Amino acid sequence: MPKHLVIVESPAKARTIERYLGDDYRVLASYGHVRDLPENPGKGKFGVDVEHGFTPEYVVGDDRRKHVDAIAKAAKGADTVYLATDLDREGEAIAWHVTEAANVPANKTARVTFSEITAPAIREAFAHPRGIDRNLVDAQQARRIVDRLVGYTLSPLLGRKVRSGLSAGRVQSVAVRLVVEREREIEAFVAREYWTLKGLLETAAGEPFAADVVKLDAEALEIDNGTLAEHHVEMLRGLRPRVTSIATKRQKRSPAPPFTTSTLQQEASRKLGFSPKRTMSVAQRLYEGVDTPDGHVGLITYMRTDSVAMAGVAMGEARDVIRDRFGEPYTMPKGRVYKTRSKGAQEAHESIRPTSFRRSPDALAGHLKPEELRLYRLIWQRALASQMEARELETTTVELEAGPYGLRASATRTLFDGFARVYTEGRDATPSRSGEGADAEDDEADREARLPALAEGEDTTVRDVEATQHFTEPPPRFTEASLVKALEDNGIGRPSTYAATISTIVDRGYVRVEERRLHPEPVARIVTDLLVQHFGDYVDVGFTAKMEEDLDEVARGQREWVPLLQAFYPPLRERVDEVRRTTRRRDFTTEPTDEVCSLGHPMVRRLGRNGYFLACSTYPEHKETRPLPGDEPPALEGAGEPCPECRQGTLVAKRGRFGPFVGCDRYPDCGYIRRDGPGPPAQLPFTVECPKNRDGHLVARRARRTGNVFWGCSNYPKCDYTTNFEPLGALHDTDEGSVARRGDGAICLRCGATIDLPTEDDLVGRRLSGGPPDPAAIAPPARRNGRGRSGSRGGATGNRRRSPRSGRVSTRA
């Protein structure tokens, strides 16, 4: 009988830890937060008592109740309840919520933390337990309440003044503002033409090399048109540039530090194409543990961190691995220590690194999923490279003069590759004067190049001059990675919130991702303008960063959290009340135009759910609308005809979220939409029991968008079972499941087993509480798009046979 109970967040983490603890320990998962503020506290309520010290009104969700009950029951019979949740504020809060929800006495609890799930780390943590850090709990609680007050105060206002369903957030709205302001910078940018000149030179020995023309009369050369460029080209031809100086410079480049949460998300986006959300999901699995040749073990340290520190033991192991793999020249005499520069970093944490450098990615290739292996390789290489010797470069710069012109030739070569043998850091594309982004793993100067042997005073010959036209470029749109970096650089959010923030602004329709770049939707501009105009300080980068610093002070015990909220909330509430009283929706969602409606009224540019359109300014008295010039949908059949439903309106072409369609111009008074295409599908001539709940039967339906036929439960929406596989009327004798056609074969809709296609004889005389089978069901099927959803589950495999008597189809191993 176990004497002690251990609580962690996830079942995967529980399974890994349980392997390191003896029979005296039982490990249960809380499945994340066991309680939270209510999602629907009621109209005008927040789930927080703002009148009495901002007391939170926590509730245990229905999906968490059984886990809390299991923990409470197990805790009663345990001598000690160890709270082994994550070592950040969120983990500290989960530990506290578990004790509160399960009524675990404080004198029975012990808090243990570790940054890696390995046997030594677990033993060390359990040897030095502590109590729950209420400062960390208060900081998390204050953050949660602030976010609730902002979201539940501003979101209803946006619903009234812009469009229903919109949301605002303390960090989310600032992130949207950054994207919108960057887009406006791009739109306002005016490209400027400029030209560069490159001379193709030759030494007296006939060796060619290239040199940039950089000066004219000792001043920087500026060329803004092709005529001037061609003039300089003609002037340079035939000159004999003389070498005036040769400079050789050696430099060392140190490797990038081990990953933090932010830098991991950025690099995984650049090199692997992972979104921040996907990166954190994969990293979570690597942290919690996978099966390896060494058993079930966590492969990386805790992945939510803003520290670049590395434990001394890990640095020592890294040096041993470097020495064994690459030799003494690549090995540091002692570990390289990095200083964390990010605002509010928690130095007690470690960076993200492998739990053992001896577990190379190649050794784990057969044990990890492809995406896990790719991310682990990135983490392993970056952390190992951080402890390797510096890269040594030699750059030679040659200055030449040819009359009034100054030329420069340079070349860089690697003397010692150092850490670059394992890893070089990726870079985001950045605008440059030449219009070329630096989206490479190394700077342009790092590219290997050679110059011929030259001496000061030596004359060279101009063989040709190349003039190249360029245009200055606007700042690039944010990627998910570069937005994370911008948030971190400005002190907005924390490691645990970056991925969630990016996902939120995309999921809420403020931003769309195209070719990995973030584009703001029209509603994002309107919401940003409203918030900046009326709540500028609340969506200001500096204000949001200051709030993060205040919460950090709460975590360190330097500030009380209730006075912080008392200073924050009342001014926000008053501002919201004022905006609600003094503004109207059309103040934000409409713009005047030169267009007039059919009655001669001015029309306005109005924001709708699917973008902007023209609407009569007298709405709701006159509800005429039309697309913006240039956005008109293509000519559609039926447009211009009288509406057959209301007989008052006229059918017009419109554009909706699924594309162009024809509908009544009296919408919303008349909701008629012309629906062309095939009619309703023919129903089955026999009854097929729903494989999911067995209290309904399958009926044929036609997909609204594609027109494809599928079969779904008659009890929809209570039951959402659907399949694209056509039921045939036979039964699978293993589990009485209905058989459906799949390609040239068949499948059991209940267990997913693959079955040979039944012949007509198998079905003749078979009545499944209905009439005889339709012979057409045995004919070769029409080609269908898509695969079955519920009906496409995998099932048993093996050889199949059919019973000649019953017509049922059986599976033979």
Alpha-carbon span 414 to 448, nearest angstrom: 7
For Cα atoms 120, 140, 133, give the angle at the middle one, nearest 5 degrees. Answer: 50
Beta-ladder partners of 799: 812
Q: Do the beta carbons of residue 77 and residue 188 sit within 8 Å?
A: no
Composition of the chain by helix, strand, coil, percent to 5 = 30, 25, 45
**The tokens of 37 are what?**
């503020």
Q: Do the beta carbons of residue 511 and residue 222 sit within 8 Å?
A: no
Burial class (CB in 10 A: 0-12, 13-18, 19+), 746: buried
**Amino acid at residue number 106:** A
Backbone Cα Rg of the chain? 34
**The tokens of 475 are what?**
């700042």
Burial class (CB in 10 A: 0-12, 13-18, 19+), 297: buried
Alpha-carbon span 358 to 378, nearest angstrom: 15
* Cα distance between the two ends of the chain: 41
> Phi and psi of 596, rounded to 5°?
-130, 150
Peptide bond preceding 681 in cis form (omega within 30 of 0)? no
Instruction: Considering the candidates 20, 302, 510, 721, report the single residue annotated as catalytic.
Output: 302
569 is catalytic: no
- Going by the DSSP 8-state scheme, the letter that residue 382 receives in this structure is H
Q: Do the beta carbons of residue 241 and residue 401 sit within 8 Å?
A: yes
What are the DSSP calls for 774-808, one per residue? PGGGGSPPPP-SS--SGGG-----SEEEE-TTT--
CB neighbours of 360 closer than 8 A, spacing ≥ 6?
A: 380
- Going by the DSSP 8-state scheme, the letter that residue 482 receives in this structure is H
**Amino acid at residue number 419:** F
Question: Three-state SS for 234?
Answer: helix
Residue in this structure with the two tokens 């009288």, named with its chain if needed: 642
Q: Do the beta carbons of residue 354 and residue 376 sit within 8 Å?
A: yes
Residue in this structure with the two tokens 């496409």, named with its chain if needed: 792
Alpha-carbon span 167 to 157, nearest angstrom: 9
**Amino acid at residue number 442:** D
CB neighbours of 753 closer than 8 A, spacing ≥ 6?
A: 732, 734, 737, 747, 795, 796, 797, 811
What are the DSSP calls for 490-558, one per residue? TT-S-TTTHHHHHHHHHHTTSEEEETTEEEE-HHHHHHHHHHHHHHTTTT-HHHHHHHHHHHHHHHTTS
Alpha-carbon span 285 to 12, nearest angstrom: 8
**Amino acid at residue number 580:** R
Beta-ladder partners of 245: 399
| b/e burial code for range 508-528 (CB count within 10 A of at least 16 → b) | bebbeeeeebbebbebbbbbb
Q: Which residues are catalytic?
A: 302
